[in-house]
Copies of this chain bind each other. A is one copy, B any other.
C-alpha cells in the first residue's frame, strides 16, 4: 500500500530527494540466480544521466549506482536488492531564489499544501532525479527478463517534440541510438536540434511524446480487469514526473475508428501461433497480451522551470513574479525515454511472474 512502490511480485520502492545525500530503489521479489552487477545497471543509467549534451540539464551527476544487497557472487539471491545512487552536485544555492515562491506548473505549491513542507532544493521528492532509481530497477528487470524470457526486447524513442512529429514512413530503428533525441528518423533529429536550440536560448521549454515498444512478450500476460496489463502500464507511465497522458496501441485515436477498422483480424501463423493483420490493440486485448508488440505512448509536459517571467504567489500569499534560473532541461521528454523503457521492463517482468504464479506454464493451446 506504499505510495512510493509499484509492481506486484517484482516490487520497486524508490526513495530519495533531488538534493539529499542519495536516492535509490529497494527492489523486492526479484527471482534468484539472475546475473547482474553494477556495470550492467550503469549502462542504462548512463542513457538517462544529465549533462550528456546541450539539450539536457547541465547538472553534473555521475549517477553511479551501488548494489548494497541482494546480490552475492554476481547473482541475485531472491532477497531485496538495494540500488543506491549518491547525489554529488547538489548546488542548493541555485534554488535560494525560489524558496519562498511557487513555480507555476510545478509541484511546489501542492507539495506545500499537502505536507506543510517546502523542500525548495530542486523539488525534493518531486524532482525528476527520482527517475534514476527507476532506471536502475529497470536494468535489474531487464536482466531478469534476459534470463526468463530472452526473446523480450524493449525499445523507447521520441515520436513528437512540441508540434513536430516523426514521419512514420521514414521510421528507422537504427537511427534511435544515433542522435540526442532517441528519434527514429534522421531528418527529424536535425530539425528538432534547430528547434530546441531556439527554445533553449529563449529560456523556454517544450513537451514531447515518447513511445515504448516491447517485442517478444508472450501471449497471456495480464488479467481482464484491474490487473490488466494496460492498467499497470498506464499507471507506470503516468507515475513518471510530468506525464499527462498515456496511450496503448491506437490510444486516444481509437475513438475515431469504427469496429470494422479497429478489429485486428486473426490468422494462423506458420509456427502454430496466431498472427494478426494489424496491431490497433497495441498488443493487448481485454487486458491480456496477444503476443504482438506491446505499444505504449506517453506525453511529457514542458519543464516548468523556465526563464520566462510568470506570475505567482509566495508562501505568505503575496503576489510575485518568478523566473527560474538554475540548470534545467528544455525538453525533459528526451530523458524520459530510458525511464519509459525501465517502466515497461518492470511491468512486463512483474506480469510474467504473476502469470506463472497463478497459472504456471500451461495456457490455452490453439490448433
Contacts and interface: CB of A to CB of B under 8 A. Distances in A.
A216 to B, nearest CB: 15
Contacts of A262: 105, 207, 301-302, 304
A115 B255 contact: no
- Identical chains in the assembly: 4
Given A79-B125, A107-B287, A364-B114, A252 B255 contact: no
Interface stretch (A39-47, A50-58, A177-185, A225-233): A225-233
Contact of A255 (B28, B109, B208, B238): B208
A194 interface: no
Contact of A109 (B13, B15, B285): B285
A114 to B, nearest CB: 4
Given A4-B225, A79-B17, A228-B238, A255 B310 contact: no
Contacts of A72: 17, 20, 117, 119, 121, 124
A267 B311 CA distance: 7
A21 B68 CA distance: 6
B119 A77 contact: yes
Nearest to A333: B255
A64 to B, nearest CB: 14
A233 to B, nearest CB: 8
Interface string A91-114: 000000000001111111111111
Contacts of A268: 313, 317-319
